[in-house]
Chains A and B, each alone.
Chain A
Amino acid sequence: MADLAQAAQRAHPLQTGHAGVGSVSVALADNATRVSLRARPDAVAALSKALGLSLPLKPKTTTSQGNRAALWIGPDEWLLLDVDGSSLVADLAKVKVLHSAVDVSHRNVGIVVSGKGADAVVNGGCPQDLSLGAFPVGAASRTVLGKIEIVLWRTAEDTFRVECWRSFSGYAYSFLQESARDVAV
């Protein structure tokens, strides 16, 4: 049984490597621990304390501490991201205040678009204003890319992290590559 138990290896849905097109690279993000967190305002302080970061309260904002980040998704919703194998789920399990924490680590896939023109690549399918004034570094929001829903997070001036559901990752990756070909022109 021990042999069998070790057989289960993770398989990423996208078996593609780092794909640079011109100045822009569209690459897979490392595996991550992800939690969909839901809570009312009165629980924010306790949750923030347990997480070791202040949950963002304004639309389109994020906070991060080390590898751990909280993305504001809705008035009572956050997407929490941390490195693979982090204690995110355990940290939240200890919190007694009313909340809902659901592990969605495998639900999402992260794709990183970076380099000069990354904003234009994303704007190939995302109708949001991605100018630095409207969508500064650290901004994040649930939005669309072509025909799918994504969470978009600007981690640096020329770097965006696109989070989508697992089965849409092939579409998202192809779309971003196609858009990168256009931007590279």
Chain B
Amino acid sequence: MSIQSHSGSNRIAGVGRLVPAKTVRFTFDGQSLTGLEGDTLASALLANGIHLVGRSFKYHRPRGILSAGSEEPNALVDVERDKSRKQPNVRATVQEIYDGLQVKSQNRWPSLTFDIGAINDVFSPMLPAGFYYKTFMWPKFAWKTIYEPKIRAAAGLGVVPGEADTDRYSNRFAHCDVLVVGGGAAGLAAALSAAQTGAKVIICDEQAEAGGALRYETDVTIDGKPGYDWATETLASLRALENVTVLTRTTAFGYYAQNFVGLVERISDHLSNPGSDMPRERLWQVRARKVILATGAIERHMVFANNDRPGILLASAARAYLNQYGVAVGRKVGVYTANDSAYAAAIDLKRAGVDVPVIVDTRDNPSSPVIEEARSLGIDVVTGHAVFSAGGKRRVSSISIRPNKGGNERKVVVDALIMSAGWTPSVHLFSQSRGKVAWDAANERFLPGTYAQDCVSVGACNGSDGLQQALDEAVAAGGKLAGETGFKGKTAALKATGGTDWVLGMIGSAPGAGADTTVKAFVDFQNDVTAKDVRLAVREGMHSIEHVKRFTTNGMATDQGKTSNLHGLAIAAEALNRPIPAVGLTTFRAPFTPVTFGAIVNHARHDLFDPTRRTPMHAWHAAQGAAFEDVGQWKRAWYYPQAGEDMHAAVNRECVAVRNQAGIFDASTLGKIEVVGPDAAKFLELLYTNPWEKLGVGRLRYGIMLREDGFIYDDGVVGRLAEDRFHVTTTTGGAPRVMNHMEDYLQTEFPHLNVWLTSTTEQWAVIAVQGPKAREIIAPLVEGIDLSNEAMPHMSVREGRICGVPTRLFRMSFTGEAGYEINVPADYGRAVWEAVYERGKPLGLTPYGTEAMHVLRAEKGYIIVGQDTDGTVTPQDAGLTWAIGKNKTDYVGIRGLLRRDLVADGRKQLVGLKTKDAHVVLEEGAQIVANPNQPVPMTMIGHVTSSYWSQNCGRSIAMALVIDGTKRLGETLYVPMPDGVIEVEVTGTVFFDKKGERLNG
């Protein structure tokens, strides 16, 4: 055996497909190592003779590399590009190496070779499956404070990165006629056949290259070419086709309803210097008319004592490391198998010059050409025997062999052991699609049974074990499914030779790890579950596989039990003495392999996390130094602090200015709906409690909208622009739901009405100018509208021009002052705002924000839906009985309002509260009681809904919902707070200008 030392001492010259000259430098736990371009981290470590790569989850046992694929349970490492780009629990078998790759092992302290946590392995008899359910019961408080944190710290694998991820992630929606999952022989054949018809095909494979098992099956030809060459050429020809999208390094992780399949494409994880525009991963959300699953099969390990020692690998993995990467997994490699396929690996290793001292086969009298071939190569094939135990700690050093039925033991020195218990068809995605698996008793495996979606399985995942059989099935499926989507065409058959049938083997514990033993024979490596743990679960009364799984955590790690499920099931079934199908198989759920949050979130980060809505005047507010508050997705100017002002001072100044001179306020976020049609008034009659038919053109009315149950849903001012055209306003937060509510009733309850609804929220910028000088300020800017009190009284609307642009000018008020709301087409908002401000500034016009608006309206007792109401408040409760049309016979909520509980005494009603000490401002949400001396828990009779300091009133003001509140006017009630009880007097809700005279000023 000729050794090539540049890229690892176990690299064999002339073997594998990597180019020896293309070396790549990387580090593992700080140790500088060299691999070859195309290596996975696993192949590069093995080439350097490193098997020990991590410590196990619970017992901190030394662990190595088991597989060469995504099913890897053991070799989980931490990959770090920099502080913010750090990924724990990366499978070394999936991560490709690049120059500068930095890798650390996990779950060890102080080092990988000496790990203090390994003491858990010594105490393992005290830590059986489910130990935490019973061992740490007393004292009760200690579970949360001591036991759970300690257990959690000791268990576990990688560490979550501490900084925000600076990588980019992206998303793509795609549609295709045929989606092929898997780029092995069957997947390539199916894709080729479907593509030949002209159908739109997407094929994905989780590996860097396609080929699947063809990467290591050396004795195979397809179409007269070596299997791997055929795969490479086929992939290239698929890539060249217009109608085919080839996605490598792409895992189909989730199969959802109606052939919606989630794929993650790893774009830059294998690159040394990915460009800054390059996303790390791209999520593909594919809607496929047909899906072909060609997901292959996963080799199972043998379950025997200490089968988790580093250096013990799956046979197919050893073959892949050899034939693809040119790496021998050891110099003296033992083989332990229960089927034929491990022989192929042994033969390849032997031919490459590796010493293969023994093949231990549990079968009594197996016969097959590969067995003969192995023997002819001089390998000692021992049948009817089992490996009872593996020696060595941080690397396997020997195996103990005994006849199955007991007898003399012999020890064979090895530095690696490869094993195969057989192949488990990969039915994960099929199961995710809600397909029902069927038990194939002859071959002891689950296969796709009843399909729930429009898909087919081909090849090894469908139990088609021979290569020719798999290809025939795949070619037929590709043509048939494409045909069903309307693409008919000739598909070419493929002729294959060679290949090992992936059939038979064993499931459950091997001889020597049976029910009468206490050895640590691992079933689930990642969650440290042994065969005896599964048996313990059964003894503890877990009879369903769902219970066994949860008690032992078998199959619940990030690998989802790809190698362990069937073994666990077989051991449980044996312990229960029931057939396997009767014990059941757990359902597979997405994701097939772990998916990063980044890929799921993709574009929705930073500014794109959620839309930020800004008004046309936003930049002006910002330039004035306004503080903003979030109202739904909107940014609203909250208050405009001047130099030296805090929020309190700014709001006081703004409130006083509005009452004494005038204020200017951005009300653009108010929802607006244009209701048009001859039945518009009739429709509004049905949607609001108020009457509308008689509202004159050019007049406004405050309307209340109820839900069917009689509770207030929204409110707003509605203007009649024409007989058949209304301009409806809603609350800022209520805009979308009010539109939906109206549209819902229009389409379902009142479809006979000739009326249409159009959202105009964003068509109009709204500039509120409020205060005694409002008219004086806007008058010179307005054209074509008579602003006199007589011509345009409070609650009217006129159309005309302002600053030369069209306006709908509303005379209305949410402050109690005379005022206007100037609606202009949104793009003019900023210019008109500035013109109004420049004109008004010398007259004392002051910009005010939402906080001052809240205070001003509270001074007048105007409610805010959602603050003073909470979905359980009727118009009567809110003191708005006047807004209900007395003569109306129908509107949404009219019957709800008649409910006995809504008209009975004892309703919470909206009242004002004045604190006895005028300087005390109540807390919104504070509870109200009648007697503060009653024992706790006190009887609460209400709560504060709005509370502010009112500079205009020179005192605090508040509104509250209080049981029978309107009967309590003048009563003293109490608000108990942590630092004392606050006395309050119940008052009316209007605190300022009780007669409302200022509105008409």
Contacts and interface: CB of A to CB of B under 8 A. Distances in A.
Contact of A7 (B287, B610, B615, B835): B835
Contacts of B762: 106-108, 165-167
Contacts of B634: 167
B827 A12 contact: yes
A90 interface: no
Interface string A5-17: 1111111110000
Nearest to B805: A8
A105 B610 CA distance: 25
B826 A106 contact: yes
B357 to A, nearest CB: 50
| Majority-rule SS of B interface residues | mixed
A127 interface: yes
B830 A11 contact: yes
B173 A126 contact: yes
A1 B170 CA distance: 53
**Residue in B277, B607, B805 whose Cβ sees the most chain A Cβ within 10 Å:** B277
B254 to A, nearest CB: 15
Contact of A179 (B603, B678, B763): B603
Contact of A103 (B267, B607, B677, B763): B763
Contact of A131 (B200, B278, B611, B676): B200
A100 B677 contact: yes
Contacts of A8: 802-805, 824, 828, 831-832, 835
B804 A171 contact: no
B610 A104 contact: no
B614 A170 contact: yes
Interface in A136-185: 146-148, 165-168, 170-171, 174-175, 178-179, 181-182, 184-185
B610 A147 contact: yes
B826 A107 contact: yes
B826 A166 contact: yes
A20 interface: no
Interface in A1-58: 1, 4-13, 31, 36, 38
B760 A104 contact: yes
Contacts of B754: 98
Interface string A111-131: 000000000100111111101
A100 B756 contact: yes
Nearest to B827: A10
Contacts of B279: 182, 185
A91 to B, nearest CB: 17
B976 interface: no
Interface in B572-612: 603-604, 607-608, 610-612
B611 A107 contact: no
Interface in A61-89: 76
Contact of A4 (B678, B764, B839): B839
B503 to A, nearest CB: 41
Contact of B763 (A13, A106, A147): A106
B287 A129 contact: yes
A174 B168 CA distance: 14
B758 A104 contact: yes
B674 interface: yes
B933 to A, nearest CB: 53
Given A7-B835, A38-B758, A98 B827 contact: no
Interface in B752-795: 754-756, 758-764, 780-781, 783
A83 B466 CA distance: 66
A31 B285 CA distance: 34
Given A106-B826, A146-B608, A4 B758 contact: no
A43 to B, nearest CB: 11
A134 B670 CA distance: 38
Contacts of A9: 828, 831
B171 interface: yes
A60 B781 CA distance: 45
A11 B611 CA distance: 20
B306 to A, nearest CB: 47
A174 B633 CA distance: 16
Given A123-B172, A147-B610, A1 B783 contact: yes
Contacts of B760: 102, 104, 107
B781 A4 contact: yes
Contact of A184 (B277, B827, B831): B277
Contact of A185 (B267, B616, B832): B267
Contacts of A147: 604, 610-611
Contacts of B780: 1, 4
B83 interface: no
Interface string B702-715: 00000000000000
B179 to A, nearest CB: 13
B611 A168 contact: yes
A113 B342 CA distance: 55
Contacts of B616: 11, 13, 166
B495 to A, nearest CB: 34
Contacts of A178: 170, 603, 608
B338 to A, nearest CB: 47
Nearest to A9: B831
B174 interface: yes
Nearest to A34: B763
B287 A38 contact: no
Interface string B829-842: 11110110001000
B804 A102 contact: no
Contacts of A105: 763, 825
B351 interface: no
A125 to B, nearest CB: 7
Given A7-B835, A171-B612, A124 B677 contact: no
Contacts of A167: 611, 613-615, 633-634, 762
Given A125-B603, A127-B285, A170-B612, A10 B758 contact: no
B931 to A, nearest CB: 50
B282 interface: yes
Contact of A100 (B603, B676, B834): B676
Contacts of A13: 614, 616, 826-827
Contacts of B676: 38, 100-102
B173 A10 contact: no
A38 B835 contact: no
Contacts of B761: 107, 165
A167 B669 CA distance: 10
Contacts of B802: 8
Nearest to A148: B611
B170 A124 contact: yes
A156 B279 CA distance: 28
Contact of B278 (A1, A76, A127, A185): A185
B172 A124 contact: yes
B104 interface: no
A182 B282 contact: yes
A182 B170 contact: yes
A12 B827 CA distance: 6
A7 B608 contact: no
Contacts of A5: 781, 783, 801, 803-804
Contacts of B363: none
B611 A171 contact: yes
27 contacts: A4-B835, A5-B783, A5-B804, A7-B831, A8-B828, A100-B676, A100-B756, A100-B758, A104-B760, A106-B825, A107-B763, A123-B172, A123-B174, A124-B172, A125-B603, A146-B603, A147-B604, A148-B611, A167-B615, A167-B634, A171-B607, A175-B608, A178-B603, A178-B608, A182-B168, A184-B277, A185-B267
Given A11-B828, A127-B285, 14 more contacts: A1-B783, A4-B803, A7-B804, A10-B828, A11-B829, A38-B756, A107-B761, A131-B200, A147-B604, A165-B762, A167-B614, A170-B614, A175-B603, A184-B277
Please list the 3 inter-chain residue pairs (A to B) with the smallest Cβ-Cβ separation, ordered nearest first.
A5-B804, A167-B613, A100-B756
Interface of B: 168, 170-175, 200, 267, 275, 277-279, 282, 285, 287, 603-604, 607-608, 610-616, 633-634, 674, 676-678, 754-756, 758-764, 780-781, 783, 801-805, 824-832, 834-835, 839
